[in-house]
Amino acid sequence: MTAKFPVTKYTISESDVLKPERALRTDPFFPISIVKRTNGRLEDIFGEYNDYELGITFECPQGYYMEILGTDNLLNAGYEMTHTKIVRNESEGITKKDTIVKLKKFKDLENLPLPFHGGLFGVLRSKNYSLLHSTSNKINAPENIPKNTNVPTFLNNPNNYNNNNNQKSSYFY
């Protein structure tokens, strides 16, 4: 079984950003970069959530929502990322403000070196919409993920995803 992919448009606004590419066609996520602190901060406050910019803007196809997750590299650096879920309403796209993530410094280590390549981004399909057409600067994102891929168990469970209408979303259709 192979994955079917909707298309996501992206715009890179910073030079240090990784181009979002998957290692394998069936990978559900691809790497993203954390490029700068917001508000001109030079260091992070221990024990508090600090805002960081990703330097990239994504526009998710109608009927899909996006998730940004942290990696083990981020945890090893002493930071945790909040679970970021971006939902696109019918009449609006994703704007630059949606590319800001919150990181909490939980270990008293050095500040996060920037750019830091330690995030994962994925597009998940909502059950209530159909697949849309492709755009320029596209990323292939999973509609269906084979059960034998190395995706964390919580991502495979359709009960873990609820949109604003309390309707379940899932990788599997």
Residue 76 lies in a domain: yes
Integer Cα distance of 1 and 7 in angstroms: 19
Q: State pLDDT tens for residues 93-135.
A: 555 455 788 899 999 888 888 888 877 766 665 645 444 433 4
- Give the number of domains in the chain: 1
CATH of the domain at 120: 2.70.40.10
Residue 80 has pLDDT above 80, yes or no: yes
Residue 163 lies in a domain: no
Integer Cα distance of 34 and 39 in angstroms: 15
What is the domain range of residue 124?
7-146
